[in-house]
Amino acid sequence: MQPGKVSDTTILTTGILAWLLLAFASLKLSVIYAKNPTLAYLLAYNISSFIFLIYFIGYFKTRFTFKYLVLLVTAYNAGINVLHLIYNKLFLLASPPAEFKQIFTSCVLNIPLMVITWALLRWFIYRKI
Amino acid sequence: MQPHIIILTIVGLAFIPEVIWIFQLFRSKAQEGNLPKVTLRINIVVFVLGLVLIGLAVVYDVNYLHYKSPIEYKDWKQITWSDFRAIKRPYHTLEGNQTFAYIVSDIDVTESDGQVAVRTYFHPSRSYTYSEESAGQDLLQHELYHLHITEYIAREIRKEYSTYKSDDRSENFVNAYLQREDILQAKYDQETAHGIPLGKQRSWQNRIDSCLSSLEEYSVSVVKPK
């Protein structure tokens, strides 16, 4: 790598960390401000993951292979869980009731959603999967 | 205008120049083939925005803007409505009812020098009343009895510790007692309908008072296991 150049790894690492923080913040705020927190959480979880995916597809374009997708899906779902654990440990006395169930449901719905989004985008934009 | 809307507006306005700057930079630099550097800058802005918004969410869990340290149970008589300092969540209701309060108490167990300290705390910056009009003495009584229930469980834990030998002590029983506390707190709210029927409320108060009296000898926080 040439001096002053930014590598793909740096973009991926900083991008994942930054978007995970923003996604986590939007999840916390959606639960606080929404009239229906359960639905708001589910929507915020999946919309955030969609933006997260679009951002990286936009950057990597045709280089965004299935390997990257697996990395992002894992990083997103595991990352949100880890952030919840850290947040609860730092700011809450105990995990909110039914939190695990809520995260688990969101994860289960999110994985196929991200895979389908990736496949559709590649198909429509680049005509290849 | 409500404080949370003002805070959100300020946060939003603070980031508008950043977002415009990113778009302008993105457009100009992308044409020059310097996309990675611009993307890295976007990542940094997103990271900072994420931290700011998490900070905003934290204030709803613990009000650091109007913080007050946890109050130990021995000072419970000094607790007034002014100690319920947390920020209420905008649409938080109790099954549609807005006349309620939310109290947070916990038990802290620390071991040192062969002694165990089991302390009950009330957390002012995590507790709130939904509506100031509803903040009467009856509702305060109801909320304080949640704290008394926590103290009753703390006394049970102290009793258990005092009968344990220091070499075969197990911490598993603490978790069992904490689970019992959750069940008891839920039952108290359910049976008293959050303190609305006064008859039920008084009956629970008598019950909790007698439980506390029966464990009066364990009211001191520090216990020395056998």
pLDDT digits (tens, 9 = 90+) for B150-200: 999 999 999 988 887 655 555 678 888 999 999 999 999 888 877 677 788
Per DSSP, the three-state class of A12 is helix
Residue B100 has pLDDT above 60, yes or no: yes
**Per-residue pLDDT tens over the stretch A26-62:** 999 998 888 888 888 999 999 999 888 888 888 887 7
Tokens of A19: 């978007």
Residue B20 has pLDDT above 70, yes or no: no
- Counted residue by residue, chain B has a size of 226
Residue B11 has pLDDT above 80, yes or no: no
Looking at the DSSP bridge assignments, the partners of residue B108 are B119
Query: What is the least distance, in Å, from the CA of A85 to any CA of chain B?
Result: 14
Tokens of B163: 């009968």
Task: Return the residue in B47, B51, B103, B119 with the most chain A beta carbons within 10 A, the one to mutate for interface testing.
Answer: B47
Per DSSP, the three-state class of A114 is helix
Among chain A residues, CA nearest to B8: A29
B131, B98 contact by CB (below 8 A): yes
Cβ-defined contact of A33 to B91 (cutoff 8 Å) = yes
Cβ-defined contact of A33 to B56 (cutoff 8 Å) = no
CA nearest neighbour of B185 among B133, B146, B153: B146
> Mean per-residue pLDDT for B21-45?
72
CA nearest neighbour of B15 among B43, B46, B39, B37: B46
Cβ-defined contact of A6 to B61 (cutoff 8 Å) = no
DSSP code per residue over B48-84: HHHHHHHHHHHHHHS-GGG--PPEEGGGGGG--GGG-
Cβ-defined contact of B36 to A6 (cutoff 8 Å) = yes
Among chain A residues, CA nearest to B36: A6
**Measured between alpha carbons, how far is B37 from A14 in angstroms, rounded to an integer?**
12
Looking at residue B193, its amino acid is: A
H or E stretch at B112: strand B105-112
A33 in reach of chain B (CB within 8 A): yes
pTM: 0.81
A91, B55 contact by CB (below 8 A): no
Output phi, psi for B69, to 5 deg: -60, 155
B225, B157 contact by CB (below 8 A): no
B4, B87 contact by CB (below 8 A): yes
Inter-chain CB pairs, A–B, below 8 Å: 81
CA nearest neighbour of A31 among A23, A22, A40: A40
CA nearest neighbour of B218 among B116, B70, B104: B116
Name the pLDDT band for A3 (thresholds 50, 70, 90): low
Q: What is the pLDDT of residue B190?
A: 87
